């Protein structure tokens, strides 16, 4: 089974060693120790990939941790997958609401811009009439 040093793992996953140590502090990774050296397993690498994927789709670190802890190789990962699907649905609903909020804000900006343009046109008209 392959093992990785912290710098190898960081380079391979394009993250900092500081980020890896942070996930270790959060008890999401548990490398072996050989003196001062950390030795990461393939499981640690997969865990890091899951964390990074979760972050990319907007999951909190707590949500990532919950999903990773649900994995049970002996029982299969049905519970993990069901929880993941539920969290995906929640995230999708949040994004849809954010999109609606953004669209509403764009309409309000359009209205404010239009009012400003009309007010400026009125000022220009008054300046032309009363120089």
Residue 129 pLDDT greater than 80, yes or no: no
Confidence check: pLDDT of 46 > 80: yes
The label of the residue with tokens 């972050």 reads 55
Residue 31 has what DSSP assignment?
-
Count of domains observed in the chain:
2
Write down the pTM of the prediction: 0.70
Range of the domain at 23: 1-70
| Per-residue pLDDT tens over the stretch 72-112 | 666 667 888 888 899 999 999 999 999 999 999 999 999 99
Does 9 share its domain with 62? yes
Summarised one tens digit per residue, pLDDT across range 47-71 is 999 999 999 999 999 999 988 888 7
Phi, psi of 3 (to 5 degrees): -125, 165
Residue 36 belongs to a domain with what CATH number? Answer: 1.10.1660.10
User: Is 23 within the bounds of a domain?
Assistant: yes
Backbone φ, ψ for residue 26 (5° rounding) = -85, 5
**In angstroms, rounded to a whole number, what is the distance separating the alpha carbons of residues 97 and 77?**
30
């Amino acid at each position: 089974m392959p093992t990785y040093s912290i710098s190898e793992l960081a380079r391979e996953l394009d993250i900092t060693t500081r980020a890896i140590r942070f996930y270790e502090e959060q008890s999401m990774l548990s490398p072996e120790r050989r003196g001062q050296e950390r030795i990461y397993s393939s499981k640690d690498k997969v865990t890091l990939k899951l964390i990074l994927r979760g972050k990319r789709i907007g999951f909190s670190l707590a949500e990532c941790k919950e999903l990773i802890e649900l994995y049970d190789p002996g029982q299969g990962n049905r519970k993990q997958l069901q929880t993941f699907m539920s969290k995906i649905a929640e995230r999708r609903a949040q994004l849809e609401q954010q999109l609606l909020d953004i669209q509403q804000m764009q309409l309000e900006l359009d209205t404010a811009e239009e009012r400003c343009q009309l007010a400026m046109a009125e000022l220009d008209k008054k300046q032309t009439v009363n120089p």
